[in-house]
Amino acid sequence: MFSIILYQPEIPPNTGNIIRLCANTGATLHLIEPLGFVLDDKNLRRAGLDYHPLTQIHVHPDFDSCLAHFSDKRIFALSAKGKTLYTTPSFSADDAFLFGPETRGLPQDVLQTFTQEHILRLPQITADRSLNLSNTAAVMLYEAWRQINFT
């Protein structure tokens, strides 16, 4: 099934919400260190409720080790700077979606590892702001899941 990758997440409740999202969709969660919190943070637990045991969570020490884990899979990066609309690609069940930290998004050196077709954006009215991380992850994951008929 799909994977959600969070690059250096900073805000525990967002990650907790994404844990809950993954539990309810069958997606796997990958976290790239450093994290802006410890995994047993009470705010993370509160947002994730009791969904932690229902979610596969993998922690990677850095971006390169995470890339190595997905060497035979497609990764799509989500960025407000992306040119490709999130509904354009045809997704497969083993695709992964990479999201940047809440306060700064994905750094340029990370984005440069992707082709423009693999840097996706969600449309929005304001160009200088972005959607909440957990909302963006939910929209992206449900679009990909819809494309494979929610199997």
Annotated binding-site members for S-adenosyl-L-methionine:
78, 100, 122, 130
Nearest to 26 by CA among 126, 145, 148: 145
Strands (E), the chain: 3-7, 28-32, 57-60, 75-78, 84-85, 96-99, 119-121
Which two structure tokens, joined as six digits, stand for 87? 């509904």
Residue 107, preceding bond cis, omega within 30 degrees?
no
| β 28-32/57-60 pair status | parallel
Question: What residue numbers does the annotated binding site cover?
Answer: 78, 100, 122, 130
